[in-house]
Structure 1
């Protein structure tokens, strides 16, 4: 492909010839021929096949919004000729990242790295990777696509929070967790024995019948559970920054529960997006699912979602408008503790209140950590 410089030289050569030929200036014909020849030579230069092995790695594949993600590019020259003037162009969503590749002698390899933009949350396609090869004078360029498109997942930010008190009694004789077989007193099922299980939980009748050592799996029926609701109506937010902060708040509240191995449900105006039961590593799944949340014109008010969930435990409702405070107040008697978080700049006048609801107003995540109820 002829570059702008190449087209400019070609047009200038034609104009020089057109201006000098009628007056018999042979120099103009020589200059015009030289210019066109240079453009043609540049095009032939880029048409020459380049035997390259190109591989791109993205690390890490999952990253918190705003934290660094790096692409590492490995380029190897497997041909007989030296290659220079190589420029790599990688597309990351709507941003193009350009990096120069050092000259490659025959049978040599180079590795370059570059940062990828992570300011926007969500699944972020990286690629396709284009390698531009230009002639020494920049008159022609050829682009070749290499490799596949990778998917970088940009997840919401979080701050450490303490789980809300649900007002329920916790057992004192063991861990209050579904994953702890000896941590409670309610029968949940049978499973095969693993090293470390207490022999007093062996179910001998099932063991005799199956020939396999079976133990009783117990669960704490008084586990404190939490429901978090994200208001996804576009009218509830003034802009993208407010909504991103709301997602960060929900992620922080939900992960505070899952990291302590307690159940949590995450709801939006379009339904449930995550349901953690208290198992290990479920905070990662919650973050992955919240990475894909967007505002929707078809989203229902939070109250509609809350009417479909079982009461009890704690409720966290996050919105960019105080109009959703009435939804939290309407269901306050069904939950042991209700927290309403309004994100955005502080408005003029007093903060609205509702009986039985803890109201928190935050402008960033630092405000959330400082004002979160303990």
Structure 2
């Protein structure tokens, strides 16, 4: 009989212990990398301090000045390396231009500058004027100065002459108000520098001042915009434990308020009975105004839509009805007509915020009180199907009206599957059309 010996099980390999050399190399690598990081950090801090210290000087050099300086260095390097004398003359000329420009940035003025806009709020197309008053508050006469005042997208330039101590100099300027906008005037700055613009030193004297150019609005008749005229509340079918409109009696449950117990019925039936009420709601108007540029055929159409929203909103605020106005980027204040018009001036076209009008209406109104009436304002590029889809966001007891701004088109009212769609071609047609709109 042959016996076979079992194979021997290999012993587990002993863990490899790093050698002293490997440990020393790792320690050295960590020290080197740590030292490099510390050196870079300290170098960055040092460069930051150097740049911060030199900022008052380097900030004076304009982009053109940096180009001239770089050209002077490059021309000097070429003249030294290749011996080209012509480039030496170029370097000397550019360096001389920078040196001459230095003399123009010296000098200091001590002014008090005040900017006035009269009025602060205008309607698009009305005239607005501005006034800049400069006073020398130094103890000695000032030197002639050039002052720049940004107004909207333009920059107005003024020359302030020599002013004796306490003397004043004022400048009048016109503000373009042909389009709805928020026009910013300021800050006023004095500019010192050479005629070539190599060096430019500025001093800021004022803050920015805003001029609100409101949209053109139409005056609506009282309650023409409200469509809901229940000043004391509108009765709904929702049953609540505490309200005004009595509904029925039910058995008392723990937690019910004792003031709602009907004692006569409780004495007759032998058990506590409490009152139930039908919920009443205050009128709540919600205006959903889309600013998506794809909804409008032109800029005039976009402005017409804002005028529609502003006209309705101002009259609703005057009527005292609760209201919320939402757009893609911001809700509009409804505290006062002025604040509403101010926010209307800030509206701009947007793009890509929501996939469609229904998503915008759902997302922008989900945190608002349940509305009695919803007005959806858009442009001629919004399909009627989108108005119908947005209507489904709200309850069946909510009256929904769509407003389409179609610049130059005949104003009209149409019914589309029960949805009222109002087309406005000119803001002057809005009062007449609103008198015909009924829930």
Paired residue secondary structure (1:111): strand
Q: Report the CA distance between 1:320 and its aligned residue.
A: 1.1
Greater helix content: 2
Q: Indicate whether 1:339 and 2:401 are aligned.
A: yes
Post-superposition CA distance 1:126-173 (Å, at most 9, x none): 3232334699xx8999663332331415354232224435355445xx
Deviation of the 1:284 alpha carbon? 3.3
Matched, 1:291 2:291: no
> In structure 2, what is the equivalent of residue 150 of structure 1?
208
Deviations 1:22-75 (A, max 9, x none): xxxxxxxxxxxxxx9xx96x9857734334333334455555444444433221
Shift in Å at residue 237 of structure 1? 1.4
Q: Secondary structure at the match of 2:343?
A: helix
Q: TM-score, normalised by structure 2?
A: 0.52
Separation in 2 of the partners of 1:160 and 1:335? 29
Query: 1:304 maps to what in 2?
Result: 359
Q: How many residues align?
A: 286
Structure 2 Cα separation of the partners of residues 360 and 312 of structure 1: 19
What corresponds to 1:371 in structure 2?
433
Higher relative contact order (CA 8 A, sep 6+): 1
What secondary structure sits across from 1:339 in the alignment? strand
Q: Which runs of 5+ in 2 are unaligned?
A: 1-59, 61-95, 234-241, 245-278
What CA distance in whole angstroms lies between the structure 2 residues aligned with 1:186 and 1:275? 30
**Aligned pair 1:318/2:377, yes or no?**
yes
Structure number with greater Rg is: 2
Distance 1:160 1:76, change over 3 A: same
C-alpha spacing 1:45/1:80, structure 2 compared with 1 (3 Å):
farther
Q: Is 1:116 aligned to residue 175 of structure 2?
A: yes
- RMSD over aligned CA atoms reads 4.2
Give 1:299 shift.
Answer: 2.9
Q: Given the superposition, is the C-alpha separation of residues 46 and 351 from structure 1 closer, same or farther in structure 2, using an over 3 Å criterion?
A: same
Partner residue, 1:25? none
1:81 and 2:136 matched: no
Is the Cα–Cα contact under 8 Å of residues 322 and 352 in structure 1 kept in the other structure?
no
Whole-angstrom distance in 1 between the partners of 2:380 and 2:361 = 17
In the alignment, structure 1 residue 233 sits paired with structure 2 residue 292 = yes
Q: Is the 8 A contact 2:115 2:209 kept in 1?
A: no
The question of 1:359 aligning with 2:413 is answered no
Contact (CA 8 Å) 2:301, 2:379: kept in 1 or not?
Answer: yes
The two structures have a TM-score, normalised by structure 1, of 0.60
For residue 323 of structure 1, give the secondary structure of its aligned residue in structure 2. coil
Q: Confirm or deny: 8 A CA contact 2:190 2:203 kept in the other structure.
A: yes
8 Å CA contact retained: 1:228, 1:250: yes
Question: 320, 340, 344: which is aligned to 1:261?
Answer: 320
Contact 1:329/1:356, CA 8 A, preserved across alignment? no
Distance 2:190 2:333 in 1: 44
> In structure 2, which of residues 218, 227, 237 is the aligned counterpart of residue 166 of structure 1?
227
Determine the C-alpha separation between the residues in 2 that align with 1:46 and 1:304. Answer: 57
- 3-state DSSP class of the match of 2:382? helix
CA offset at residue 258 of structure 1? 1.0
After superposition, the C-alpha distances for 1:307-333 in whole angstroms (9 at most, x for unaligned) are 546665333221112534334345288
Runs of at least 5 residues in structure 1 that lack an aligned partner in the other structure: 2-35, 177-184, 188-219
Alpha-carbon distance in 2 for matches of 1:66, 1:248: 14
CA spacing shift, 1:63–1:335, aligned 2, 3 Å: farther
Distance 1:111 1:186 in 2: 64
2: CA distance between counterparts of 1:254 and 1:300? 26
Instruction: Evaluate the alpha carbon distance shift between residue 168 and residue 87 of structure 1 in structure 2; reply closer, same or farther with a 3 A threshold.
Output: same
How far off its partner does 1:103 sit? Answer: 5.1
Q: Deviations over 1:185-237 (max 9, x none)?
A: 968xxxxxxxxxxxxxxxxxxxxxxxxxxxxxxxx955433221112222111
Q: 1:167 to 1:71 in 2, by over 3 A?
A: closer
Equivalent runs, 1:1-374 vs 2, <5 Å:
44=103, 47-77=106-136, 78-81=138-141, 83-84=143-144, 86-101=145-160, 104-132=163-191, 144-152=202-210, 154=212, 156-157=214-215, 158-162=217-221, 163=223, 164-167=225-228, 169-171=230-232, 221=280, 223-269=282-328, 273-274=331-332, 276=334, 281-294=335-348, 295-307=350-362, 308=366, 313-321=372-380, 323-330=382-389, 331=391, 334=396, 337-346=399-408, 353-374=415-436
- SS of the residue 1:90 aligns to: strand
